[in-house]
Amino acid sequence: MAFISAVGAAMSGTLEDFKQFYVPGTANQPTRSGDSLVMIAVGNSAPENRFAIANYLIDDGADVTWTDPRGKYSVLHVLVAQMVPKMSIATSDCDLLVRLMDEGADVNQVATKWGTVIQCLHAKTMNLLSEEALVPVYDVVFARPDLDLFKTGSFGQSSYRTVWLWRDECPVLWERVERWLADHGVVAPEEERRPQ
């Protein structure tokens, strides 16, 4: 495939394609669409390419806390939404998720399109035959020391409430929420468990 810009190569090319067009030191220069290059890179359809290009940009100073101007999505949300498990999640996607959060991407950030990262994961479970494929992603997210299950996200409800309301449809995610609460000695407020 022939590319004519760094944006096109970030979107669907390899790292080698991307390097042909990328000018080092411009990782945080907005694209014509207003999106950041690292956001475009994490949306690349090939896990190995999004991993390589995004890490290259992060090494060059890319701002992983970038959010689109309307607040609809962040770099972290785009990566989570892009993870489409066939049989399993690519290890490189989990590694990139860890890197993004280690570099400052907020696991609790709310994006108007998807809510919190956990709410984004919940939405993905509704489109899978089995949520077992997302267990490696759950491992990464629930390991974060700053995870806040009660931050208000989409539909004016917390991640906890979203998962609680759908606990029968996403039992693996619900089990992880319950385990996180027990491990942290947290009791869910009564209003989070009220029937809808």
Determine contact, residues 109/67, Cβ cutoff 8 Å. Answer: yes
Q: Which pLDDT value is given to residue 124?
A: 78
Determine the Cα–Cα distance for residues 129 and 132; give it in Å rounded to an integer: 9
Query: Tell me: the pLDDT tens digits for 165-188?
Result: 999 999 999 999 999 999 999 999
Give the torsion sign (CA, 170, 181, 110, 88). Answer: negative
CA distance 136 to 89: 7
In a domain, 195, yes or no: no
Structure tokens at 180: 């996180």
Per-position b or e across 108-138, b if 16+ CB within 10 A of its CB: bbbbebbbbbbbbbbbbbeeeeebebbebbb
- Could you give the percent of the chain with pLDDT greater than 70? 94
Residue tagged 């090939």 (tokens): 46
Stated pTM of the model: 0.91
Give the CATH number, domain containing residue 37: 1.25.40.20
Average pLDDT over residues 110-133: 83
Q: Is residue 186 part of a domain?
A: no
DSSP 77: H
Q: How far apart are alpha carbons 51 and 164 in whole angstroms?
A: 32
Tell me whether residue 66 is in a domain: yes
Backbone phi and psi for residue 115, each to the nearest 5 degrees, phi listed first: 80, -140
Quick one: which of 140, 34, 41 has its CA closest to 82?
Answer: 41
What's the token pair of residue 98? 């860890």
pLDDT at 84: 66
Q: Is residue 194 part of a domain?
A: no
Give the pLDDT confidence of 22-65 residue by residue, as tens digits. 999 999 998 888 889 999 999 998 999 999 999 999 999 999 99
Residue type, 54: A
Residue 163 is assigned to a structural domain of this protein: no
Q: What is the pLDDT of residue 81?
A: 87
Task: For residues 131 and 135, give the distance between their C-alpha atoms in angstroms, rounded to a whole number.
Answer: 7
**Is residue 149 in some structural domain?**
no
Give the domain range for residue 86.
6-144
Structurally, the chain folds into a number of domains equal to 1
